[in-house]
């Protein structure tokens, strides 16, 4: 039986990879089952429904972004508190953040359901596509509290030193979505409504099962219980997690800009192609995000404990891993580009041609993205939400919006696909500068 790895340990490459592996697999699996809706809708329902799903997705991501913020920011606060030896206080903070997430999920879900139609029209939906957008959004928004809980528990399972349990529950939710998609869409022909229902039910599994686990007596470091309102802690959580909030909201805003440009240069085919590319990109980028989620509690714990040697160790090893993995992922993405694109849009030759070219160009962004993602998460773990937010804001919003608006003027459709590469390069400069300028303050 392998030795249990604890946050307080010294991390070699082997120990680090073992500890973050469940988080990486968890994020990959989350991405894969998130892709399933698009895969089934594209192949079994229709191109218009597939484009509608992609068009309304920004609304769902923005609504669920609070969960990412509380999860990332709260993990930094709770792990640091554990590192300081205050376990009871850490559990009170944890409980407060979970309860706030539930309340926020219900409130935002109601608002989203009421605003779905005008938002769909604002996003550019026309004709029957409006109804498709509204149906898919409203069914998913019913499960928004569960989706947000699923997002925060993914990180808190790591802080609780139960990453494998978190992975197991994610797999359960993923299998639920895959099986129900196959039944609702491919077998029973429920169409877009079936795909939305499959996702909503899977999110219920991913959010409610952890809630039950932490609400009962368990063997982890964390347990739900009585708490009180800690305004400063909640504010610190929001500031620390603001980069993750900004990242998700910015991605949605950028998607709107991408869709606008793609409609100009390639019409409905462009939007469908971008949707297919992003589904696959979610899986590849999930490796970087999973590593960052898995390693962040380690950084926060040792920061709280004042162990600067381990901070240096984590910074060096993590960046090295991101560089190697980024290069490998770029090569893999190019190698599998043709079969992956055929899997999504092989039924339409013109659409396949557009998707394949965009996919290959987009793949080169993986060379750089990992360092930027880790850099932002690293500062979140150090409880410096401001720097983390600046990196995320520039990377996911400012640089991408500017490049996707400017490059197509000169390069047309290729300019849309190249935008992400230029944005990542500019973000890398910012990330490296922050790491250099703040090295003396944190002694990493």
Give the contacts of 210 (CB within 8 A, at least 6 positions apart): 149, 150, 153, 156, 157, 166, 169
pLDDT at 361: 95
Query: pLDDT digits over 253-312, tens only?
Result: 887 788 788 878 887 788 778 878 887 788 888 899 889 988 988 998 898 888 999 999
Q: Given its phi and psi angles, is residue 161 left (phi above 0), alpha (psi -120 to 50 degrees) or beta? A: left
The Cα 5–Cα 314 span in angstroms is 15
CB 166 within 8 A of CB 158: yes
Residue 255, CB half-sphere, CA atoms under 13 Å: how many? 28
Q: Find out whether 170 and 206 touch, Cβ atoms under 8 Å.
A: yes
Closest CA to 129 of 10, 244, 263, 248: 263
Instruction: List the pLDDT tens digit at each of the 444 positions of the chain.
Output: 466 777 778 889 999 998 898 888 878 877 776 677 777 887 788 777 877 887 788 788 788 888 878 887 888 889 888 888 888 999 999 999 999 999 999 999 999 999 899 988 887 777 888 899 899 999 999 999 999 999 889 888 888 888 888 889 988 998 898 899 999 988 998 988 998 999 999 999 999 999 999 999 888 888 998 999 988 888 888 887 777 777 777 777 887 788 788 878 887 788 778 878 887 788 888 899 889 988 988 998 898 888 999 999 999 999 999 999 999 999 999 999 999 888 877 778 888 889 999 999 999 999 999 999 999 999 988 988 889 889 988 998 899 999 999 999 999 899 999 999 999 999 999 999 999 999 888 888
Is 16 exposed, middle or buried, given 0-12, 13-18 or 19+ CB atoms closer than 10 A? buried
Q: What is the pLDDT of residue 3?
A: 64
List of long-range contacts for 226-231, beta carbons under 8 Å, 24+ apart: 226/92, 226/95, 227/92, 227/93, 227/95, 227/96, 227/99, 228/92, 228/96, 229/96, 230/92, 230/93, 230/96
Whole-number pLDDT of residue 33: 63
- 166, 173 Cβ separation under 8 angstroms: no
Please name the residue that has the structure tokens 């604002």. Answer: 122
The answer to pTM > 0.95 is: no
The pLDDT, as a whole number, for residue 34 is 60
* Alpha carbons 414 and 410: distance in angstroms, whole number: 9
**d(Cα 138, Cα 373) in Å, to the nearest integer?**
31
User: What pLDDT digit, counting tens, does each position of 361-414 carry?
Assistant: 999 999 999 999 999 999 988 988 889 889 988 998 899 999 999 999 999 899
The token duo for 335 is 């190698």
Q: Is residue 20 within a helix (H) or strand (E), and if so which, with residue range? A: helix 13-40
Tokens of 65: 């972004």
Tokens 């992975």 correspond to 167
């Amino acid at each position: 039986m392998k030795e249990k790895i604890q946050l307080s340990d010294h991390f070699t490459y082997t120990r680090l990879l073992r500890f973050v592996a469940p988080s990486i697999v968890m994020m990959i699996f989350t991405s894969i089952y998130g892709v399933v809706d698009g895969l089934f809708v594209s192949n079994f329902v229709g191109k218009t429904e597939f484009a509608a799903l992609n068009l309304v997705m920004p609304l769902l991501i923005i609504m669920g972004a609070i969960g990412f913020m509380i999860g990332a920011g709260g993990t930094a606060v709770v792990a640091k508190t554990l590192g300081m030896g205050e376990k009871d206080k850490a559990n009170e903070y944890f409980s407060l953040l979970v309860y706030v997430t539930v309340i926020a999920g219900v409130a935002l879900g109601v608002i989203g359901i009421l605003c779905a139609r005008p938002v769909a029209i604002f996003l550019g939906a026309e004709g029957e596509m409006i109804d498709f957008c509204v149906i898919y959004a409203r069914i998913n928004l019913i499960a928004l509290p569960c989706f947000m809980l699923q997002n925060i528990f993914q990180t808190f399972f790591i802080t609780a030193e139960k990453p494998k349990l978190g992975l197991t529950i994610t797999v359960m939710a993923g299998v639920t979505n895959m099986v129900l998609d196959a039944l609702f869409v491919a077998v029973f022909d429920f169409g877009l409504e079936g795909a939305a229902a499959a996702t909503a039910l899977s999110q219920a599994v991913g959010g409610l099962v952890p809630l039950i686990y932490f609400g009962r007596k368990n063997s982890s470091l964390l347990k739900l219980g009585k708490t009180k309102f800690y305004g400063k802690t909640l504010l610190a959580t929001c500031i620390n997690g603001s980069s993750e909030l900004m990242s998700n909201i910015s991605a949605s805003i950028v998607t709107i800009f991408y869709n606008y440009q793609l409609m100009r240069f390639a019409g409905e085919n462009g939007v469908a192609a971008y949707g297919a590319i992003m589904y696959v990109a979610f899986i590849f980028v999930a490796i970087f995000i999973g590593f960052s989620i898995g390693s962040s509690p380690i950084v926060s714990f040792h920061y709280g404990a004042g162990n600067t040697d381990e901070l240096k160790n984590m910074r060096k090893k993590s960046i090295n891993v991101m560089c190697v993995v980024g290069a490998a992922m770029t090569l893999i993405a190019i190698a599998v580009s043709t079969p992956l694109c055929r899997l999504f849009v092989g039924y339409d030759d013109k659409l396949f041609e557009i998707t394949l070219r965009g996919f290959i160009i987009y793949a080169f962004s993986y060379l750089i993205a990992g360092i930027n993602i880790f850099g932002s998460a690293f500062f979140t773990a150090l409880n410096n939400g401001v720097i983390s937010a600046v990196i995320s804001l520039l990377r996911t919003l400012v640089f991408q919006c500017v490049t996707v608006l400017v490059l197509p003027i000169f390069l047309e459709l290729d300019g849309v696909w190249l935008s992400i590469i230029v944005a990542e390069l500019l973000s890398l400069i910012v990330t490296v500068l922050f790491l250099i300028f703040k090295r003396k303050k944190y002694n990493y």
